Amino acid sequence: MSQYALEVRSLTKRIGKKLIVDDVSFAIEKGEVFGLLGPNGAGKTTIIRMIVSLINRTKGNVVINGYSLDDDFTSAMSEIGAIVENPEFYKYISGYKNLRHYVNMAKRKIPESRIQEVIKLVGLEQSIHQKVKTYSLGMRQRLGVAQALLHNPSILILDEPTNGLDPQGIREFREYLRTLASEGMSVLVSSHLLSEMQLMCDRFAIIEKGKLIHISKMNETEEAEKTAQEFIFDISDPVKAVSILKEHGLDKEFKDLNDQKFSLALQREEVAKANELLVTNQIKVYEISSKKATLEDRFLEITNKENKEVPV
């Protein structure tokens, strides 16, 4: 069995003379939440539609849990659970009856115990027997996830799953995805909401103009500790403090924030040295805090770099 839940190999989509997706490759490990990031129109939905075979590929292959779409289409598709657009249900019957309807159409035999398991997993035990027309958008999204999980797929694929959800619904949905991942489910999720993806994903890929321009882990704390980071100083005498720090070469990327605060780009050991110098010189240090780079900062840094490298 493959070590990857999903492998995308040189995926390409051309419509006429227009190149929509350009030679995209990535792999998703088992139990991983993997994010596809990019602005609207970047090609994220086209990539997902090709993976789930809603549209044809111009070139490339997709392998799901070891099964190639080209060589064993039925087995490959049976490993996928997906919500590509807003999930649709029969609104005048209950959530449970909607799931039973899906089970009756499924090629695999799905026992009642599995239905109850996914209902519990998505947190719909209290409302599963209510009519779907009474459900909030967040509840319908959860019912959609339950339906996608019924046949026990290897990977769950979600395209912009938090669209239209309120902040509480987004938070709940994020927690459900983390629960799924903790139980071994792999998840591919696309979005343009960078702040949410930062909380949701283990790794991410940036798609811009149909190209994959960057892949990395979401949490790179070890690497961050090795490089300079922005620290904010809240102290009693900023003018004197900056003068002292400058004498010791600790005034890199100085930014004056207000009467008592400034920021510097320092490594962790340099922060300790700066604090010691300030205290020794009778300057009161009220707070030193690190300003962690957000996913938005990294996204803009990466995309701006990419744009500068493209010849005009």
pLDDT tens for the chain, residues 1 to 312: 568 899 999 999 999 989 999 999 999 998 899 999 887 788 899 999 999 999 999 999 999 999 999 999 999 998 998 887 777 899 999 999 999 998 988 777 889 999 998 898 888 899 999 999 999 888 888 898 889 889 888 899 988 887 777 788 788 888 878 888 888 889 999 887 777 777 888 898 888 889 998 888 877 644 544 555 788 888 888 888 888 888 888 878 788 877 788 888 888 788 889 899 999 999 888 888 876 655 556 666 666 655 555 443
The domains of the chain are located at 4-219, 222-291
Helices (H), the chain: 44-51, 73-78, 95-105, 112-121, 137-149, 167-182, 194-200, 221-226, 238-247, 268-280, 295-309
pLDDT at 304: 62
Each residue's pLDDT tens digit, 90-141: 999 999 999 999 898 877 788 999 999 889 888 889 999 999 999 988 888 8
- Domain 222-291, CATH number (from 3.30.70.250, 2.60.40.10, 3.60.15.10, 3.30.420.40): 3.30.70.250
Q: What is the DSSP secondary structure assignment for residue 132, as one 8-state letter?
A: G
pLDDT at 92 (0 to 100): 94
Domain 4-219 sits in CATH at: 3.40.50.300
Is 33 in contact with 189 (CB distance < 8 Å)? yes
The C-alpha atoms of residue 146 and residue 125 are separated, in whole angstroms, by 11
Residues 6+ apart with CB under 8 A from 252: 228, 264, 265, 266
Environment class of 249 (CB within 10 Å of its CB; exposed 0-12, middle 13-18, buried 19+): exposed
The predicted pLDDT at position 106 comes to 79
How confident is the model at residue 26, as a pLDDT?
94
Pick the closest to residue 136 from 105, 109, 99, 173 (CA basis). Answer: 173
pTM above 0.75, yes or no: no
Mean pLDDT, rounded, of the chain: 84
Torsion of CA 209, 212, 214, 219, to 10 degrees: 110
- Count other Cβ atoms within 10 Å, centred on residue 34: 25
Residue 240, C-beta contacts closer than 8 angstroms, at least 6 positions apart: 281, 283
Predicted local confidence at residue 198, as pLDDT: 79
